[in-house]
Chains A and B, each alone.
Chain A
Amino acid sequence: MVAAGLNRWLYYGRLIQALALRDIQSRFANSVLGLSWLVIRPTIFMLVFSVLRGALRLPDDGLPYALSSFVAISAWFFFIGILQSTTPSIANNAGILKKMAVPRLLFPISAVFVGLIEYAVTWLPLAVLLIWFAYPLSWTLVYLPLILLIVMAFGLGIGLLLASVAVFKDDVLLALPHVIMLWFFLTPVIYPATRLPPDYRWLYFLNPMTGPVEAFRDVILRGAQPDWPSLIPIAIATVVIWAIAIPVFNFMSRYFADAL
């Protein structure tokens, strides 16, 4: 049924949109609070760490802790949301995959867009916090889409790789929460990277997610440009991941229907 040329791209676009919409609609269709659940999760994290901060002696860097941690937590949730939704995206769409020859790549991509929509929703409480702390946004916000794009590309690359294996072996899905938790503490989400011991800071920046998380703080709160060199690790990691993930996914995707 799929047309050629431009029509095909339109079809892909419409399908991604329809799948993303379906995911969002069906996820909250049966809940009373609906989309507000997307707000509740980062807010709870922010509150928990605001309370624990004293006990854990988490450092701060002059920014209001609630604001600083909320920006980073919502950014982090954006990233792991992509991992958590792309990895099972193939299995979740087994019904369609087993039945129709739809390009398999569209499913993880639409999962990424679900993550983007979810991130957009977290801007509501963020706006409230910004007004509360009287923090004006600066022009550097124009860099935000770029940073989001970088994180999306990185997350999608990992997601494609995990998704192609997750169809055949469940271990990936079982391991994912643990890896994510470990990664969470290794990334300056609930503490600012600027307060790390200078001798070890370079080590931290080997973690591809350190740069982007700090960049979210820079462009939203500090009114500064992202620290470009700190984004080099994620750029390299993304290129490497994609170079591996795309061929692997393309090959494995032909056999998805066999395993579902």
Chain B
Amino acid sequence: MTDNIAIRVENLSKAYGLPFEFSWRGLTSNRDELLSRRHLALKDISFNVRQGELLGIIGRNGAGKSTLLRVLAGVTPPTRGSVNIKGSVFPMIELNAGMSPRLTGRQNVMLLGTIMGLPERHMKQRMGEIEEFCDLGEWFDKPVWQYSSGMPGRLGFAVAVYSDADVLLIDEVLAVGDLAFRNRCTEKMSELRDSGRTIVLVSHNMGAIAGMCTRTIMLDLGDVKFDSLPDLAVHHYKTFVDSLASKKIKKRRVESLEVVAAPGFTLHGLAVLDHRGFPVEEVRGDQKFSLVMDCQIPIEFAEGMLEVMIATEDGQVVLEARRLVMIEGPPAYRRIEASFPNGAPLREARYVLSVSLKNDITGEACITAHTPIAMANRRVASAVIVPPMDAIVSSPSLAPAGLPALKRALPHGAGEH
């Protein structure tokens, strides 16, 4: 079997800065100590890219996308783990950087080619194509400082495209240039992909990611959160971003269950159950736990988005999970059970747990409940975690008053609107 892996990333972690620190106590060069003290731009990530793949990388600002490209480009060394790339690499990380504003576009193209180790002959042969691809007209022979903001990026991208490198690392080209240029970029990248070149593309342009890439990775907080087909990754990312937008929980203490329900919706009870199914106030994070919500839902509400969030008492979200739930059958009391089979690695503290059933089309919250919760745990997650969550909807025949498993019964009338 031929090994056609072009990029191999194994357990890569990256913390910026020198691998030692001076302080009054002396020199620290212990990797573990430094890693624990510093911000990790990448946290123990592993993945492979096969030759001919066009891998898209998406994620919020600060997710680690550019750091990943830099490490792949060999510009900055991995703090932990390893990166192996087969073949020649052409990184286009900051498109405008490395250009001399005083030199003309043509001179910059030559300089960039020289920096990248392309033979002069190659550059001269390709100059015509590069000039045509840039489509800058007379600007190509004018100094770069006179360019408008989108123009310098075209030069860099054109050199990358005509470099014949095996692996191209491209950061945000699609953000520069006008529509015509962007279309040419997209076309060219698809062409390169089909000719067997490996491309890693970082972009915030979801349309382009979904349209061109063969695979997409979503990074967040230095970790690979999703690695799948571009459409799925883009969908996942959008859902994730929406959930972040909706989770601006105000700083407040929640002493007991608080409920807000839209007309027609009623929450009858909410309980947190441990792995044996017993209601608890304190959850052990390393074991399965679940949330049970008994409610009344109007008949026309057939499916909804169930969101669970855990925030610290000062309003910082540390866990979030969401799941589409289908509600079928005649109107009745519904029991929605959301379970976390792997638990949740949260620091030992008091939290506010929020559950919300939303209209998945309008995003409008139908029922939202907040309840205090305590975690008992040894494992600690430093970032927002998105643990796996299962959700089951059932229709218990018993009236809500007859549900003994619900520890926290609602105060009288609180669920009414």
Please pick, from B77, B98, B163, the residue contacting A255 in the complex, using a CB distance under 8 A: B77
What residues of chain B lie closer than 8 Å to A102, measured between beta carbons? 115
Q: Is A100 an interface residue, CB under 8 A from the partner?
A: yes
Q: Is B99 an interface residue (CB 8 A)?
A: yes
Chain A interface residue bracket vs B: 20 to 34
- Stretch from A22-30, A155-163, A199-207 forming part of the interface with B: A22-30
Contact A100 B17 (CB under 8 A): no
* Interchain CA distance A141-B2 in the complex, whole Å: 63
**Contact digits for B57-100, partner A, Cβ 8 Å, 1 yes 0 no:** 00000000000001001111100000000001111111011111
The one of A29, A100, A259 that contacts B75, using a Cβ cutoff of 8 Å: A100
Question: Which chain A residues (1-52) contact chain B, with CB distance < 8 Å?
Answer: 1-3, 11, 14-15, 18, 22, 25-26, 29-30
Give the 9 A-B CB pairs with smallest separation, nearest first.
A95-B97, A101-B74, A26-B102, A95-B98, A1-B117, A29-B102, A96-B98, A18-B114, A257-B76
Give min CB distance, A2 to chain B, whole Å. 4
Whether A26 lies near B103 (C-beta < 8 A) is yes
Question: Do the beta carbons of B111 and A98 come within 8 Å of each other?
Answer: no
Residues of A within 8 A of B115 (CB): 15, 18, 96, 100, 102
- Interface: B18 (CB within 8 A): yes
Q: Known contacts being A1-B88, A22-B103, A29-B102, is A254 close to B77, with CB within 8 Å?
A: yes
Cβ-closest chain B residue relative to A26: B102
Q: Say yes or no: is B264 at the interface (Cβ < 8 Å to chain A).
A: no
How near does chain B come to A251, taking the closest CB pair, in angstroms? 9
**Contact: B163 with A1, CB < 8 Å?**
yes
Does B120 count as interface, using CB distance less than 8 angstroms? yes
How far apart sit A95 and B115, CA to CA, in the bound complex (Å)? 12
Chain B residues near A259 (CB-CB < 8 A):
16-18
Per-position binary interface string of chain B over residues 271-287, scored 1 when its CB falls under 8 Å from any chain A CB and 0 otherwise: 00000000000000000
A81 to chain B: closest CB distance in Å? 20
Known: A26-B103, A100-B75. A18 touches B111 (CB 8 A): yes
* Residues of A in contact with B (beta carbons under 8 Å apart): 1-3, 11, 14-15, 18, 22, 25-26, 29-30, 93-102, 168, 252, 254-255, 257-259
| Least CB distance, B110 to chain A, in whole angstroms | 8
Among B73, B74, B116, max chain A CB count under 10 A is at: B116
- Asked whether B103 lies within 8 Å of A25 as measured between CB atoms, the reply is yes
Q: A100-B98, A255-B18 are in contact. List 16 more A-B contacts (CB 8 A).
A: A1-B117, A2-B117, A15-B117, A25-B100, A25-B107, A26-B100, A29-B103, A93-B98, A95-B96, A95-B99, A96-B98, A99-B91, A101-B73, A257-B75, A257-B76, A258-B16
From B18, B99, B110, B114, give the contact of A258 (CB < 8 A): B18
A–B complex contacts, Cβ < 8 Å, 13 sampled: A1-B117, A1-B118, A15-B117, A18-B114, A25-B100, A95-B99, A96-B98, A99-B73, A254-B76, A255-B18, A255-B19, A257-B76, A258-B76
**Contact between chains at B120 and A99 (CB < 8 Å):** no
